[in-house]
Amino acid sequence: MEPHGRGAAPGGVLVSAVLPAGGSGERLGGATPKQFCAVQGRPLVSYAVRAMERISWISDIVVVVSPENIETMKTIIEKYGHKRVTVVEGGITRHRSIFNGLKVFAENEFSSHLLQKPEVVIIHDAVRPFVEEDIVSKVVMAAKEHGAAGAIRPLVSTVIASAADGCLDHSLERARYRASEMPQAFLFDIIYEAYQQCTDYDLDYGTECLHLALKYCKTNAKLVEGTADLWKVTYKRDLYAAESIIKDNLSQQVCVITNVKETLAQVGFLLPESLKSQIKVEAISVSLSKNDSCLQNIISGQCYNFVCVNDKRWAIQETQELVDVLEKSNIPVLYPVVLILVHLDIPENNSFSIGMEDLTTIKKFARETKKKNILAYGLLIQYKDPLLLQETVNSAAAVIMALIKDRNPELIGQLLVA
Amino acid sequence: MEPHGRGAAPGGVLVSAVLPAGGSGERLGGATPKQFCAVQGRPLVSYAVRAMERISWISDIVVVVSPENIETMKTIIEKYGHKRVTVVEGGITRHRSIFNGLKVFAENEFSSHLLQKPEVVIIHDAVRPFVEEDIVSKVVMAAKEHGAAGAIRPLVSTVIASAADGCLDHSLERARYRASEMPQAFLFDIIYEAYQQCTDYDLDYGTECLHLALKYCKTNAKLVEGTADLWKVTYKRDLYAAESIIKDNLSQQVCVITNVKETLAQVGFLLPESLKSQIKVEAISVSLSKNDSCLQNIISGQCYNFVCVNDKRWAIQETQELVDVLEKSNIPVLYPVVLILVHLDIPENNSFSIGMEDLTTIKKFARETKKKNILAYGLLIQYKDPLLLQETVNSAAAVIMALIKDRNPELIGQLLVA
């Protein structure tokens, strides 16, 4: 069946997901459990939820959190507009939390409304934000065929066993072993049966769901080679890495919007050309004050960076149109959007200056758009000598790339000069 | 013995190190092997060399690289002023490279000059940049006592064995196993003997030095619990993490230098106070034009960030003194230094503007200091209403912190406004 008119699951089965998010994050250091740490302003767990939500054939997403974080989790779901999510109270260990998550598909007394029991259930971690549909689909299909399946990765370090005296007992041959990662998937009846059968010791000290399915239901567990981005955010350095990867992903495309004016034609052409060596560029000539359908199209894509070239001094009103369209699009809800107001300055009598008024205008505008998660910056291109224009435009492109890559909220409203 | 008058090794033994750096970095993606990837402009291998070099009781540091990278490695050593380093040509596998590294302490024909044979030899990876003296010392002492020793870490993922059909065979009980990390250390005679005894199969397919010592020399290998920062840069995300960790380390302290003028007294007091909530601050009042010993003392510390507050419009000449002192100190050789020129602007008649000349002056200055690995930025504090001064200073502090944390080379020479 195809649930709720969404995309078809692999093999046409009903698929739901359980995300244990009850961990305390001891290894990370710091008071906030890692799944609630902010990455580009948004808690990590929201990225994992979004990764599942994006997959149209996943029916329900059950997030299991410790009792003290239920309200936090509900707030996150509301703030970031997550759909198809049910929050469930976790147990004291990972296995007990997953078991609780599974119960909402099977036991009436456990939730206010019983969710439809899926044929296949995905188990994924709240701290693995970068899972792609491709691997989820592979694992689900393998689970349907074999009863259980999970993503694996090569070992990074050699694994050793220590003897009682703290000395090396033996080392494992690295090629024969793999790291067990997430996502995993199971025929629901199998994993639910396994959790019902297993001992308290399993629930308290076990770490591996595949192991439970194997031990209590004699199923096979198919291992699926995963990609490097499945890794689990464990240490502070992993949060840094996640932050950089997300910034990188957001810096893949820029939309350069040039006002349709004669004087801008040259810059409107040169700037996108200069940017093209570093980033995918969508260049459009449009009058922003006319709410153009062309603009709507761009915004419906995956672009998180906008450059508005104008010859009016800080064409705030025109740019406000773009801000309004962006706000309606919901794009800035999940990720901060970078908006760079480029002003081409043609000085008279070769004199040139920036007045207090310009600075105040941009700062005020940026403070307002910041509330909408749009990071606005000003950039002045000095048009003096036509022979130097290419050089100036290259320098502008370098500043634009730096602003896009950094997405620094502390530098909003600043006026930079190329 | 205490070699070359340097610090005493743990247990007073002669200690040297071998750093295999011959890997091809396949897992990272991209053409450059990971040990030569730049982090804050400097190749990763230079960080690992520096980590060893900083430990005064390590006599010789042998870096083993593949034949095509010998010149690159020698250039790195010269550029970053590394001492006590010998570059050796590696073999086709990690074990063969380490063996080559050991030979320069034992076999005359293998190097132009035979290095003094150490009692204990450390083996560390070129792609583990953050090793601290403490763990190196512990591993060396354990090796002296037991014959061999190595750092270990808890496993991040469950380790599983796969069966021939690609299904799960069994999973290991996570608590009984550890990840074998670096550094490791050995009595030289033991590890050298092990390498001489071991088979071609070991040299070609083995991964674990401790295993060789155990197998061929019946020594014990003591396992020493290491810290999280011992991790190995393996994937692109690890390079991102390394970059962020280094930026973080460089953003621990700022030196605020205020010119001794009446008008600056208030800002010279308020700015360091505002910064103190975010970073360790060393505030000094000094006339930069007099080459002060106070300044020399600051610079001999571990400070990579300088804020110069002045009331003259861009006191370039005074700041040049600081640049000269920094250059002489060699501090910018290893890490980019951030230098923020703060100008306190007291507008007359409430009018205020930034002229072309100001912008050009700072840009030119920043372009020059960039060549010395000093990243210069301008920051203007508008002093209008005394009642608003605190707010303006806080905003200046936020911009200063953003510049320090980002160390963005593309934004040098920009004039920011608080």
Convert the pLDDT of each residue in B79-98 to its tens digit. Answer: 999 999 999 999 999 999 99
Enumerate the residues of chain B whose CB falls inside 8 A of the CB of residue A245: 237, 240
Q: What is the pLDDT of residues A313-358, one digit of tens each?
A: 767 888 898 899 899 888 999 999 999 999 888 776 666 778 888 8
Query: Taking the mean position of all CA atoms in its chain, how far away is CA B235?
Result: 18
CA–CA distance, B42 with B116 (Å, rounded to integer): 30
> Where, residue-wise, is CATH 3.90.550.10 in chain A?
3-238
Shortest CA distance to A49 belongs to which of A70, A19, A71, A25?
A19
Chosen from A37, A94, A128, A168 to mutate, greatest number of chain B CBs within 10 A: A168
Does residue B318 have a pLDDT over 90?
A: no
Of the listed ranges A23-27, A328-332, B200-204, the one predicted with least confidence: A23-27
Residue positions counted in chain B: 418
Mean pLDDT of chain A: 89
Of all residues in chain B, what percent carry a pLDDT higher than 70?
Answer: 90
Residue among A175, A241, A401 minimizing CB distance to B240: A241
Q: How many Å lie between the alpha carbon of B202 and the closest alpha carbon of chain A? A: 11
Count CB atoms within 10 A of the CB of residue A79: 12
CA distance A67 to A69: 5
* Residue ranges of chain A assigned to CATH 3.40.50.360: 251-417
Query: Residue A343 phi/psi, 5° resolution?
Result: -115, 130
Please check whether residue B372 touches A, CB under 8 A.
no
Contact residues, chain A, for B146 at CB < 8 Å: 167
User: With 70 as the cut, is the pLDDT of residue A42 above it?
Assistant: yes
Q: Are B73 and B45 in contact (CB under 8 A)?
A: yes
Residue A402 to chain B, least CA–CA distance (Å): 6
Query: Per-residue confidence at A6, pLDDT binned at 50, 70, 90?
Result: low
Distance CA A177, CA B123 (A): 25
Banded pLDDT at A27 (limits 50, 70, 90): low
Cα–Cα distance for residue pair A321/A288, rounded to 1 Å: 7
Is any Cβ of chain B less than 8 angstroms from the Cβ of A383? Answer: no
pLDDT tens sequence across A116-148: 999 999 999 999 999 999 999 999 999 999 999
CB environment B62-88: b (16+ within 10 A), e (fewer): bbbbbeebbebbeebbeebebebbbbb
**Closest chain B residue to A245 measured between Cα atoms?**
B237
- pLDDT one-digit tens code per residue, A198-216: 999 999 988 789 999 989 9
Q: What is the pLDDT of residues B11-65, one digit of tens each?
A: 789 999 999 998 776 655 567 899 999 999 999 999 999 999 999 999 999 999 9
Nearest CA in chain A to B28: A228
| Chain B residues closer than 8 Å to A222 by CB | 166-168
Of the candidates B155, B169, B159, B140, the residue with the CA atom closest to the CA atom of residue B52? B140
Q: Which residues of B touch A27 (CB under 8 A)?
A: 228
pLDDT for the residue numbered B337:
97
Q: Is A232 on the interface with B (CB under 8 A)?
A: yes
The answer on pLDDT for A296 being more than 80 is no
Rounded mean pLDDT of chain B?
Answer: 89
Rounded Cα distance between A112 and A105, Å, is 11
The SS3 of residue A313 is coil
List the single range of A42-56, A169-183, A353-367, B343-357 with lowest mean pLDDT. B343-357
Q: Please choose, from the candidates B101, B94, B145, the residue with its C-alpha nearest in 3D space to the C-alpha of residue B122.
A: B101
Q: For CA atoms A402, A407, A411, A412, give the dihedral sign.
A: positive
- The rounded distance, in Å, linking the Cα atoms of B200 and B377 is 57
Residue A43: in which H helix or E strand, if any? strand A42-43
H/E stretch holding B333 reads helix B331-334
> From CA A52, how far away is CA A40, in angstroms rounded?
19
More confident residue, B257 or A299: B257
Pairwise CA distance, residues A80 & A383, whole Å: 43
Chain B: closest CA distance from residue A401 (Å)? 9
pLDDT range class, residue B228, cuts 50, 70, 90: very high
Assigned token pair, A107:
């036991």
Q: Does A349 touch chain B (CB under 8 A)?
A: no
End-to-end CA distance of chain B: 58
Q: How far is B163 from chain A (nearest CA, A)?
A: 9
Nearest to B124 by CA among B195, B193, B31, B55: B55
Question: A202 CA to chain B: closest CA distance, Å?
Answer: 11
Between CA B270 and CA B264 the distance in angstroms is 10
CA distance B182 to B17: 12
Chain B residue numbers touching A148 (CB-CB < 8 A):
168
Considering the domain A3-238, what is its CATH architecture? Answer: Alpha-Beta Complex (3.90)
Per-residue model confidence (pLDDT) at position B239:
96
Average of pLDDT values for B364-371?
97
Q: What is the pLDDT of residue B330?
A: 84
Q: Which of B123, B160, B379 to mutate to test the interface with A (most CBs of A within 10 A)?
A: B160
- A406: chain B residues, CB-CB within 8 Å: 406, 408
Give B351→chain A minimum CA distance, Å.
Answer: 7
A158: nearest CB among B180, B222, B240: B180
| pLDDT in the model for residue B135 | 97
CB atoms within 10 A of CB B8: 12
Mean pLDDT along residues A153-170 = 93
A169: tokens are: 């007992």
Using CB atoms, pick whichever of B166, B205, B408 lies closest to residue A222. Answer: B166
Q: Stretch A346-374: mean pLDDT, rounded? A: 86
Instruction: Supply the pLDDT for residue B350.
Output: 62
- What 3-state DSSP class applies to B248? helix
Task: Specify the pLDDT at position A318.
Answer: 80
| Residue A178 contacts B, CB cutoff 8 Å | yes
Taking CB atoms and an 8 Å cutoff, what residues of chain B touch A176? 161-162
Q: What does the alpha-carbon distance between residue B39 and residue B50 come to, in Å, rounded to a whole number? A: 14
Q: Rounded mean pLDDT of A169-196?
A: 94
Interface subset of A 190-219, CB within 8 angstroms of B: 205, 207-208, 210-211, 214
Name chain B contacts of A351, Cβ cutoff 8 Å.
356
Classify residue A158 as left (phi > 0), alpha (psi -120 to 50) or beta: beta
Please tell me which of the candidates A167, A176, A248 has its beta carbon nearest to residue B222: A167
Looking at the predicted structure, is the pLDDT value of residue B74 above 80? Answer: yes
Q: Phi-psi bin for A373: left (phi > 0), alpha (psi -120 to 50), beta? A: left
- Other C-beta atoms closer than 10 Å to the C-beta of A266 total 15
Q: Nearest by CB to A180, which of B160, B166, B231?
A: B160
Residue of chain B whose alpha carbon sits nearest to that of A240? B241
* B240 closest CB neighbour out of A168, A240, A408: A240
CB < 8 Å to B229, chain A = 237
Answer whether A177's CB lies under 8 Å from A159's CB.
yes
Q: Which stretches of A170-292 are DSSP H helices?
A: 188-197, 200-205, 209-217, 236-250, 265-275
Quote the tokens at residue B138.
């512990």
Per residue in A268-289, pLDDT tens? Answer: 889 999 999 999 998 887 766 5
Where do runs of H (alpha helix) occur along A276-339?
Answer: 293-300, 316-329, 331-334
Q: Does position B172 have pLDDT exceeding 60, yes or no?
A: yes
Residue A48 per-residue DSSP state: H
B354 inside 8 A of chain A by CB: yes
Which of B58 and B298 is assigned the larger pLDDT?
Answer: B58
CATH number, domain B3-243: 3.90.550.10
Distance between CA A290 and CA B62 in Å, rounded?
67
- In the numeric block, which tokens belong to residue A285? 């000539």
Looking at residue A167, the DSSP 8-state letter turns out to be: B
Mean pLDDT throughout B142-150?
97
pLDDT at B2 over 50: no
Per CB-CB distance under 8 Å, the chain B contacts of A143 are: none
Least confident interval from A96-100, B235-239, B262-266: B262-266
More confident residue, A81 or B329: A81
Residue of chain B whose alpha carbon sits nearest to that of A163: B176
Contact: B208, A402; criterion CB under 8 Å: no
Q: Report CB contact under 8 Å: A210, B168.
A: yes
CB contact under 8 A, A237 and B220: no
The answer to which of B100-104, B109-113, B307-311 has the lowest mean pLDDT is B109-113
pLDDT at A11: 75
**In chain A, which among 21-50 make CB contacts under 8 A with chain B?**
27
CA distance B408 to B390: 27
Q: How far apart are CA A172 and CA A160, in angstroms?
A: 6
Q: Which residue in the set A180, A223, A237 is minimally distant from B157, CB to CB?
A: A180
pLDDT of residue B3: 43
DSSP A98-151: HHHHHHTTT-GGGSSSPPPPPSEEEE--TT-TT--HHHHHHHHHHHHHHEEEEE
CA-based nearest residue to B128, from B16, B54, B233 = B233
Q: What is the pLDDT of residue A2?
A: 38
Q: What is the mean pLDDT of residues A82-108?
A: 93
What's B114's DSSP letter? P
**What pLDDT, on a 0 to 100 scale, did the predictor assign at position B27?**
58
- CB of A109 closer than 8 Å to CB of A96: no
- Quickly name the fold that domain A251-417 has: Rossmann fold (3.40.50)
Distance from CA of B48 to the nearest CA of A (A): 18
3-state secondary structure of B39: strand
Q: CB of B222 within 8 Å of any CB in chain A?
A: yes
Q: How far apart are CA A304 and CA A339, in angstroms?
A: 9
pLDDT of residue A348: 67
Q: Which H or E run contains B393? A: helix B389-406
Provide the percentage of residues in chain B whose pLDDT is more than 90: 70
B408/A406 CB distance under 8 A: yes
Q: Which of A26, A157, A215 to mutate to test the interface with B (most CBs of B within 10 A)?
A: A157
* Tokens encoding B140: 């060396």
Q: Give A156's contacts in chain B (Cβ within 8 Å).
A: 179, 232, 234
Q: Which residues are CB-contacts of A20 (< 8 A; sequence separation ≥ 6)?
A: A64, A90, A94, A97, A98, A101, A123, A125, A126
